Amino acid sequence: MSSAHTEMTFKPEAWTILQERWSDKSPQEGTELCVCSWCGKMIGRDEADPIWEDHIEYCIGCEVCEIAVRTWEDDSSHPGEKLELRFHTNCVIEIIVTKNGT
């Protein structure tokens, strides 16, 4: 059995913008620090938010329990440390290109 592997990269126009948005923080979803590197809006909801009372816990994929898509690169100014970009699923889909160009 083999696993499928797809190489992805960011669209050139998105990559230019994202170069300014690398972060040395890796905050948990649902906190004010966990914002999308593309749209700037918070990812997930705080567990204390009353919306959880009427929500099926961790259904995956909705705005309430969304998990950030994260990518890392080496921090050239701090060897051994990483920088991070975080995205909503829909935002990352908007700005990626797969190896075959789609």
Residue 62 maps to a domain: yes
pLDDT, residue 3, reads 47
Classify 51 as helix, strand or coil: helix
- Residue 46 falls within a domain, yes or no? yes
What pLDDT does 30 receive? 87
Q: Mind listing the pLDDT tens digit for each residue in 76-93?
A: 999 999 999 999 988 999
Q: What is the predicted pLDDT for the residue at 99?
A: 66
**pLDDT score of 9:** 87
Residue 20 in any domain: the answer is no
Domain that holds residue 35: 29-97
Query: Per DSSP, which regions of the chain are E strands?
Result: 8-10, 69-74, 82-87, 96-98
Q: Is residue 16 part of a domain?
A: no
Tell me if 29 sits within 8 A of 66, measured CB to CB.
yes
pTM of structure: 0.77
Q: What is the pLDDT of residues 15-66, one digit of tens each?
A: 999 999 999 999 998 888 999 999 999 888 777 777 777 777 666 667 767 7
Q: Within a domain: residue 47?
A: yes
Number of domains observed in the structure of the chain: 1
